[in-house]
Structures are given as C-alpha cells and as structure tokens.
Amino acid sequence: MNKTLFIFALFFTSICFSQSVRFDGFIQDEQKNPLEMANIMAVNNTTKAMDSYGITNDKGKFQLTLKPNTSYTVKVSYLGMKSKEIAVSTKTENIAQNIVMDGAGIELEGVEIVREMPVSIKGDTIVYNADSFKSGTEKKLEDVLKKLPGVEVNADGEIEVEGKKVSKLMVEGKDFFDGDTKLGVKNIPADAIDKVQVLRNYNEISQLKGLENDQENVAMNIKLKEGKKNFWFGDVTAGTGVAELDSRYIINPKLFYYSPKYSINLITNFNNIGELPLTAQDYFKFTGGFKNMMKKGGSSFNVSSNDLGISVLRNNRAKEIETKFGATNFSYSPAKTWTISGFGILSTSKTDLETKSQTTILDSGDQQKRDELTHQKNNLGLFKLSSTYKPNDKFQFDYDILTKLSKQQEDTDLLRESVVNNVADAESIFTNKKQDPTSVNQNLSLYYTQSAKNIFAFEMQHLYQDENPFYNANLRTQPFDLAGYTVGQNRNDLNQDRFVKTNKLDAKLDYYYMITPKSNINITLGNTYSYQNFNSHIFQILDNGDRNDLETPENNNDVNYNFDDVFLGFHYKILTGKFTFTPGVSVHSYAMKNTQLGTDYSQNFVKVLPDFFALYQIKKSETLTYNFSLTNDFTDINQLAAGYVLSDYSSLFHGNRFLENATSQVHSLRYFKYNMFNFENIFANATYTKKVDAIKTQADFEGINQSSVPYNSNLADETFSGMGTYGRSFLKNYKASATASLNWSKFNNIQNDKLATTESFVQNYTIRASTNYKNLPNIEFGYNLLVNKYSGSTFYTDKPFARLDYYFLDSFSFVSEYEFYHYYNGNKTVDNEYDFLSASLIYQKKNSKWEYKVSATNLLNTKYLNDDSFSQFSTRVSQYTVQPRYIIFSMKYNL
C-alpha cells in the first residue's frame, strides 16, 4: 500500500515540476492604476487550445504558466474597458511584461472574453465554466464540482465553497428539490452542465439583501447547455451482476426538463447494490427549505425526535441494502408574477446490519459485548407545495407546506456477554422497534417595501408532529425493578407504547428603517408558542401470553406542556470604512407550564439577551468575522415527563418536571481569504461555548443496566471547536489542500452518586492533492488521520486513499478508488487493518447515446469496518459488516 502511494506521489511531483515558462507582470489602466480581477488567458496558436489563464490580484499582478518554444495569443479583458490581444513567443526563459489597457470601450467585448474564462467573478458571483475542468470521466454534478478550485463535496453530498456550506442548489434559477444538495450532486448529469455559479452573500428575499448579515449564506446555480433547454434530457440505466451468494441489479431512470415557464425533474432508483439516494437520516434532517426564522430571537426551543435510536449506516454501508426510490420536482410559472413549485419523494429500503461491539462503563470498568443481527424496513415519504407571488419589487407573498410520512420497523437478534465485577454472563435478547411519525410544517411570509427607507417582513411557521414509537425487549434476566412487574418468568417480555403530539407556532414581524445607505435599524416583535402532549405506558407479556399492565404512576406518563416566549428585539447595523458592526438585544417574557400527576408546575420570568456581530473586510476577498450570542436553551416535553421511559433493554429514563432553562454564551471567530490570482483558499474558524445550568444526566448503574434522570447542573459545560483549511489550484492542472479540525468538550454528570467530569478530544487531519488533465491519467491521493480521545481511551484511524481516472481513445473511461484503514487504540489491544477497492470501465463512442459499463465494488472483499463512540458514561468500539464484493454490467441510454 505504502509503495503504491509513493509511486502516485512521485508521479504527481514529477508532473508538477516538469519544464514550463512563467509569464507574469501587472495589468494597469492608462494612469498606471492596478486593475484587480482582470482576466487574462493564453491561446496556443498551433493547437488553438487555452493553455493557461489567470485573474489579477489587488495589485494587478498576473501569472501564467506556458509551454517553452511556443507561440501564443494572450487575451486580456476587464469589464468596461477595451479588450486587448498581444502576441507572445516563449523560449526557455521566464518572461515579465506589464500590460496597459486602453480607456473605456465596448463592454460587450469584455463580457464575451470573460465567458471564455474557466473562472470569472462578477460582484458576489463566481462563475465556473464547467467544460474547462472536465476530463471526460465525469458522470454527475459531484464529479464536476470536485474539480473546481475552492469547491469541495463531502461524503454526505454537502457542497462547501470557501469553507461555507451551500444552503441552496438551483438549476436555471429554480430550486432543485428545495435546494437539497445531495439529490443534486448525485443525479444531475455532468454533460448537461454549462456553468456553475456560486452566489455569495445570498439572500433569497431581494428586499432584505444588504439589511441583514448574509456573509455566511452561499447558494449555487447550475446553468445548462443550450441543447438541454426546452428539451427533455437525462438517462436510463439498467444493470445486473453477481456477488458471492446472490445476484445484483440496478435500474435508474432520470429525466429533466427546463424551460423559462416550467421545469420537471424525475429521479428513480431500484437497486440492491447499496446505492441510497436518501437515507433515513437524510429524511429526518430534511428541512424542505424552511428557514431558521427565529435565529435572531435569542431563544432555543427545538422539538426533539422520538426516533428510538434506530441503527444508522456507517458510510452508507451495511451487510445488505435493497432500495426503491422515486422522486419528482416541478416548478411552474402561470404568470411572471407567480410561481408554483413542489416535490414528492417516496423511498423504501430493506437493510440487514451485523455488528459486534464492546461497551465499557467509565466509572466501574464493567463491560458488555454484543453480537447483533438487525433487519430494518424503512418507508419514507416527503411532499411539499410552494407558492411565490411577487407582483412588483415592493411586495412578495410566499406560502409553503411540507409533509413528512414514514413507517419504520427494526428487529434485532443479539447475543450479549456481560462482565460485571469480573463475573461473566451471556444471554440472547430480541428487540423490536416500530414508529410511524407524521409531521406537517407550514410557512407563510409577507415582505413589503413601503419606501426606500421603510421595509416590513412578516413570517409565520406552524409545525404539527405526531409520533407513536413502540419498543419491545425480550430477554432472560429482569433488567429493572418495576412496580407491578411479575417476576419469575422464563423470559422477560417488556414493552412500551409512546404517543407524542406537538403543535408549535412561530411568528415574527420585522421592521427595517434605513437611516443612511450604510446603516439601518431592525425592530423585531416575535412569539414562539408550543403545546405538547406525552403519553406512555409500560406493560409485560407473561410466559403464558397474558398481558400485565404496569398501572402505577411511575410506569406511565400523561403530560401536557405549554411553552410561550414573547420577545422584542432591536438591532443596529452600520458600515464604517472596512468594518461592519451589528449590536443587538432582545427582551423575552417566558411562560411555561407542565401538567402531570394531577398537578401543574409553572415558571414565568423575563430575560434580556444581547448579541453582537462584527466584520472586518480586510480586502475584497479577505474577511475576519466575530459573533457573540447569549441564548436561553429550553427542553421540550421529553425530559419533563416524570414516568419511566425505556430507552433500551438496559437503559431506563425518567424526566424531571422541575427542570429550568440553560444559558449558553457562544463566541465564534472566522477568517477567510480567497485569492483568485492563484486560487488560494484559506479558511479558519474557532468557536467556544460555555453552557451554565445545563441539563445534565444523573445516571445510576447496576452492572451494565442504567437508570437516569436529568437535572440542572451548577457546573458549566464547555466546548471548543476549531477548523482550518488551506487549498490551492496551481499550474492550471493541479489542486491541493490541507485540513485540520479539533473538537474539545468537557462535561459534568453524576454517575453512581459521584460527580464525574469527562472530556473528549477529537482531532481530524487530511491532506490531498490531485491532477486535472484532459489527455493524461488523473490521480488524487491523500492521507487522513482521525484521533478520538475519550477520558482515558484513545482510538486512531489512519486512512491513506487514492483515486485514478483516465479518459482514453475518445471512448473509454476508467475510474478506480482505493482506501486503506488502520484502526487501533493506544495500547494496541485493538489493532485492525482493512481496505476497500472499487473500479469501473466505461465505453461510449463519441456522440453515441449508448454507454456500457462494468463496475466492481469491494474488490478486495473486505468483511467489515471499525468505529468508536463516546456517551459521557461509556465508550463503545464496534465492528461493522459491509456488503461483499460484487460486479455489475450496466447499459445507459442518454436522451
């Protein structure tokens, strides 16, 4: 493995330092003033290809890398000035030359040459010409984005630009499934993409642009090639293959249509090869484009999910995965002033999981080993309808409704081996989890510009959520001493029904007054009101099949909870020189009441919460940002219900109706620099959070069985996280980056009546480099180190990785990816090595609509992977079985 990476590195280094000629200098106007962000390109007079391009920095400096002994036409353009062409003939020596642009000219000429540039900047928009970065092996949007300077796509399908996550993805200005990036990067065909536009400082409400601090908001718009507009395009893929014991298949039709008036997207996927267009985790975090409208309010009241802790996939891998997926998205404009859009997503998956794990209790050192076989069925549905009415620039009316439906079931057969006080015991346990949650989220927004100085915004959002999780555990030993429980059974069959209903309404009215073009005030009147009901019941099934209802109050819940927050906020924003300041304050009146066990408990108080934002605009593309906020954090009904709740067969929880809110102070500092001169990207941030009166857990362990209750801790919890990235594209065809992230946390809990302070320190380091040639093999290689340190236990994962892609003979594409894992702990009692290799060969004649592909996954037939986790009371190390090697032959027809 190390020899292979060394060869890749040697090859990469030799290419980077191959002979070339540097052509540099300064671009100036007639008064010798530097022209920042002027475009310059060198066109090879023999091949007519663009061999190099660049954009000037703030001093007007440019730099091109050219071939020796070659004649070039160098084209220079700057918006608002006459374009210029000069002849340059290289030898073997570097060339230095200043270029003076001639006065104001026809702007269209400048625009025309800008469009030929691989990268150009126009205000807050960066435009990438996709064809300039394609090598021929790209099949999806994801493949194109990974080759753009300053753009990254992570394993979850999230796009990051300049260190910021892209919050909205559009195609031809229309939301793609409400801006969900994962569905976009995995499905939009690469050959349909003309331009990729990155929209910085993005605000989808034009009336509010500039009034708020939008520096963290980034959107992306995909411009299609002319041949893809007003025509259906897409592809249909079908394939079959073999694994060790069974057959494999994939059917994946995708159709798209875009015109100025309407658009339609249709994506389907049926397979048993582990492709998951949307996982259960994606489903539950899918917001459907709904904004965090109370982000300036100073209060945090989030409705938690009663998801029973259904097992999740590791890296989208499992022992077996079978998926049926269908999704459609549309946008229609009956008039220029009105747009209707929406989507529907249906997904069904069957998943088999096999896991071996070892959990160690931090206080006692007692251990639990588990061998688990789990079968899951997930049926998920998402539906949204949206309407935007904008008759003029002064008024906009939006309405959205998002519905989530799901049906999930998980059955687990496990063998537990416990070691308590050095005494070993083993037993088989069967568990069953079911849930059919439903949620409906509605949003109504009105924006009105009365005059240039007076702007109003009204937003209202309602959430209805209905959850009904059921849990069953069948085991030999009696886990807990519950009142009314019938002891002496051969098997202990323990069950719990839960029913949770939530109605939550958020509403706020914002008034903006422009004092000067560089300053404004914002007054906010808002309200959050929530009503929740929590009902649960524990019962036992006896050996003879009879049902034993545990009717005592501690085994049941019937709780109502009201939360009401009325607040008035004031913010003042001012731009002075290179600085932007936005101090703010909000005054809150809180009222809370929970009703259970025949009594009411109420809390009422008033709190003043300040916040502050500062931005130092060092240069056009270099900023330093500071944020401070003081936030009141409130729990929802789940931690207030005083009756017992079965979290697991070995974990029993009951709430505390007297819980109070916690207060969090958050300080964050962010530095960003993006240099278009050499495509250098530097990003760093640091965030410190201190939470006072945090809601913590008092846990009592009887062996490996845990009983816990929440309480307000007098000791503060602290977290510090930091991240830094340095990336650069150079010599036209090379891209390299280095990333480091740190996360330190200190928690205070009570474990077995003793105060326990636990710390975790997670470090993640990655370096990578890649090439991007048109006619040569392209490689990417890198190294990732993950260090997880949990209160005395340290786990390491070394992961070198490499990728090779090559487009050759104008018809063939070869792509291969390799990952090597070395997983071990500090004292080497755990020490495993495993790797994954995949490869595909594609044949498609030029201009042919047919594509033929042979692909192989997990070629080395690796059986499992490793991971670890930390729960503040215990550490867990697991071994996770993955799908075996399989080979697929597929055909694709491109429309």
- Considering the domain boundaries, does residue 776 fall inside one? no
- Considering the domain boundaries, does residue 355 fall inside one? no
- Considering the domain boundaries, does residue 420 fall inside one? no
- Considering the domain boundaries, does residue 66 fall inside one? yes
Q: Is the pLDDT of residue 676 over 80?
A: no
In this prediction, residue 214 has a pLDDT band, given cuts at 50, 70 and 90, of: confident
Alpha carbon 852 to chain centroid distance?
32
Please report the sign of the dihedral spanned by the C-alpha atoms of residue 772, residue 773, residue 779, residue 782. Answer: negative
Which ranges in 208-249 belong to alpha helices (H)?
none
Q: Is the pLDDT of residue 297 over 90?
A: no
449 close to 393: Cβ distance less than 8 angstroms: yes
| Dihedral over alpha carbons 387, 391, 393, 399 (to 10 degrees) | -20
Mean pLDDT along residues 168-174: 91
- Considering the domain boundaries, does residue 753 fall inside one? no
Q: State which residues form the domain around 23.
A: 18-111
456 close to 511: Cβ distance less than 8 angstroms: yes
Radius of gyration of the CA atoms of the chain, in A:
30
Mean pLDDT along residues 256-266: 93
d(CA 761, CA 742): 7
- Considering the domain boundaries, does residue 89 fall inside one? yes
56 close to 38: Cβ distance less than 8 angstroms: yes
Q: 734-737: list long-range contacts, CB under 8 Å, 24+ apart.
A: 734/12, 734/15, 734/16, 734/769, 734/770, 734/771, 734/772, 735/147, 735/149, 735/769, 735/770, 735/771, 735/772, 736/767, 736/768, 736/769, 736/770, 737/152, 737/681, 737/766, 737/767, 737/768, 737/769
d(CA 775, CA 15): 13
Read off the tokens for 885.
């090697």
Q: What SS3 state is found at 282?
A: helix
Residue 829 or 765, more confident: 765
Q: Which residues contact 612 (CB under 8 A, 6 or more apart)?
A: 581, 582, 583, 584, 626, 627, 628, 629
Q: Is the pLDDT of residue 218 over 70?
A: yes
- What are the pLDDT digits (tens) for 345-390? 999 999 999 999 999 888 888 899 999 999 999 999 999 999 999 9
CATH of the domain at 79: 2.60.40.10
548 close to 539: Cβ distance less than 8 angstroms: yes
d(CA 250, CA 240): 6
On the 0-12 / 13-18 / 19+ scale of CB atoms within 10 A, 19 is exposed
Q: Which of 630, 527, 641, 639 is nearest to 585 (CA)?
A: 630
Backbone angles phi, psi at 707, to 5 degrees: -115, 130
- Considering the domain boundaries, does residue 272 fall inside one? no
Q: What SS3 state is found at 106?
A: coil
450 close to 396: Cβ distance less than 8 angstroms: no
d(CA 530, CA 565): 9
- Considering the domain boundaries, does residue 93 fall inside one? yes
d(CA 685, CA 741): 10
Q: Is the pLDDT of residue 655 over 80?
A: yes
Mean pLDDT along residues 335-354: 94
Beta bridge partners of 739: 725, 766
- What are the pLDDT digits (tens) for 8-31? 444 444 444 456 888 999 999 888
d(CA 432, CA 103): 76
d(CA 502, CA 350): 29
Q: Is the pLDDT of residue 216 over 80?
A: no
How far is CA 744 from each of CA 363, 703, 761, rounded to the nearest angstrom? 21, 29, 4
Beta bridge partners of 569: 524, 586
On the 0-12 / 13-18 / 19+ scale of CB atoms within 10 A, 133 is buried
Which pLDDT score, from 0 to 100, does residue 13 have?
45
- Look at the block and give the residue holding tokens 């993409």: 193
Element (H, E) at 411: strand 395-420
- What are the pLDDT digits (tens) for 50-94? 888 888 888 889 988 888 999 999 999 887 788 889 999 999 899
- What are the pLDDT digits (tens) for 433-470? 999 999 999 999 999 999 989 999 999 999 999 999 99
Q: What SS3 state is found at 410?
A: strand
d(CA 862, CA 679): 39
Q: Which of 790, 865, 822, 703 is nearest to 356 (CA)?
A: 865
How far is CA 523 from each of CA 297, 457, 571, 760, rounded to the nearest angstrom? 11, 11, 7, 41
Q: Which of 784, 782, 843 is nearest to 815 (CA)?
A: 843
The total of structural domains in the chain comes to 1
Element (H, E) at 144: helix 141-145
Residue 515 or 287, more confident: 515
Q: Is the pLDDT of residue 292 over 70?
A: no
Q: Which of 273, 371, 373, 387 is nearest to 332 (CA)?
A: 387
Which pLDDT score, from 0 to 100, does residue 19 have?
64
Which pLDDT score, from 0 to 100, does residue 227 have?
83
Q: State the chain's mean pLDDT as an integer.
A: 89
In this prediction, residue 37 has a pLDDT band, given cuts at 50, 70 and 90, of: confident
